[in-house]
Amino acid sequence: MKILSAKYWTGLNQYQSIKTENLFQDLNTPNSLALNNRLYENAPTLLKNEGELLPLHPSHKDCIASVVLNDTLNNPFQMQLSLYGPIKTFNVPKEASEKYRDSVYALLKGCDHVIVSIHNTTINAQKNFGLSPSTIEFTEKVGKLKGSILCVFGNAYVLSRLEGMKNYDAIIEGYEDTNLPLQQTAQKIYGGQLFKDNCLFQFCPNLIWIKVY
């Protein structure tokens, strides 16, 4: 009843049609897009950078692989990474079989750098933020490979469920699983953009040992 009364007080009971012509352009002006880009530019957080691994400066002989977990192959993150040079792309769906995960891992073992990105997580802590046991196991297994880089695109508390992430040489928290964070994180990995001096405010028990850059 209170909501209906408030609508009446503000005149919402008097119908007024809204012109939808050019609505997308009106809501997405060049200035608003530029502002959105600047805001996201400062978001990705570099949590660990062992031996100054990032940004990557690969030679033509280096083998670099990208594995997206819980997302489709050649998503915006992988597409942006591929702009910087040859890269082997893989994906491991949430429902992937153990045999499939093992086959992907076997192909990664010969690479100089492996970039693992976690996608399509949730904010539901009771359901492990959408992480399946197999996803966690695969993430921790890949972290033991040389030159491993972990990118989490989602709630920062996802990191608290990844016990083996300390084995990664570099860890990035990207926060959101949308185009701009995906693209800008990929650019930062290769030095197209610089990581800002930001820090992770959420408390995650597994992050106590991490030096924040």
CATH code for the domain of 199: 3.40.50.1700
Inside any domain, residue 212: no
DSSP β-bridge partners for residue 67:
90, 116
The pTM of the full predicted model, rounded to 2 decimals, is 0.83
The size of the chain, in residues, is 213
Alpha-carbon distance 139 to 145, whole Å? 11
For 111-124, what is the mean pLDDT?
96
Inside any domain, residue 4: no
pLDDT of residue 12: 78
The residue type found at 25 is Q
Q: Does residue 134 have a pLDDT over 70? A: yes
Inside any domain, residue 10: no
Which residues touch 156 (CB under 8 Å, ≥6 apart)? 173, 175, 200, 202, 204
Q: How many domains does the chain have?
A: 1
38 sits in which H/E element? helix 30-41
Identify the DSSP state of 189: H
Inside any domain, residue 213: no
Inside any domain, residue 16: no
For residue range 6-20, list pLDDT tens digits in order: 877 888 778 777 788
Q: Which residue range is the domain that position 148 belongs to?
A: 27-207
Listed residue (46, 142, 126, 48) closest to 92, CA to CA? 142
Burial of 141 (0-12, 13-18, 19+ CB in 10 A): middle
Inside any domain, residue 113: yes
